[in-house]
Structure 1
Amino acid sequence: MSDPGGVAGDQLRAFIERIERLEEEKKVISDDIKDVYAEAKGNGYDVKILRKIVSLRKKQPHEREEEEAILDLYLHALGMAAAPEDSQ
């Protein structure tokens, strides 16, 4: 079915409906993730740290190392990093 302006209404409607279904699935999954974090918190885990670990696990080792090096550089520049210990 071709509507005025050359837009295929049936195809467009199918795309929109698929997107809507996926958005609903995404919401359900998001709610499930929130429930898992709440359960972990209830068992005494720090949710902020869990989120950080999940984020770190998504990255390649070289990406994590680069970020840590930059963070260390910035902390030193701000005087927030501990001075390296003297090795004897």
Structure 2
Amino acid sequence: MAEERGEGMGGGQVAADELRLLIERAERLEEEKKGIADDIKDVFAEAKSRGYDPKAIKKIMSIRKKKREEYQEEEMILETYMQALGML
């Protein structure tokens, strides 16, 4: 029973308060994350309304995160596979 109340962690009420604070902090961060995700969606919607392709923008963002050598290697492999399939 003591462990169910958080007392098994050696802190009694302190452990329960700490746990509650951690949960509340995580909940606030989840809300912030949702807000940021909504903002990002808005940016892509704006880009689309201005005639840009959101998929292309996302691809460019993905490429920009990678090291140049990593990207070049992926492109070489992709090109090799596409040639093998007669797509180029």
Interval containing the TM-score (normalised by the shorter chain):
0.7 to 0.9
The CA RMSD measured in Å over matched residues stands at: 1.5
CA distance in 1, matches of 2:26, 2:71: 34
- How many aligned residue pairs are there? 80
TM-score, normalising length: structure 1: 0.82
TM-score, normalising length: structure 2: 0.82
Divergent runs of 4+, >4 A: none
Percent identical among aligned pairs is: 60
1:33-72 aligned within 5 A: 33-72=40-79
Determine helix, strand or coil for the equivalent of 2:6. coil
- 5+ residue gaps, structure 2, are none
CA distance in 2, matches of 1:49, 1:75: 19
1:5 Cα offset (Å) = 3.0
Which one has a larger percent helix, Structure 1 or Structure 2?
A: 2
- 5+ residue gaps, structure 1, are 82-88
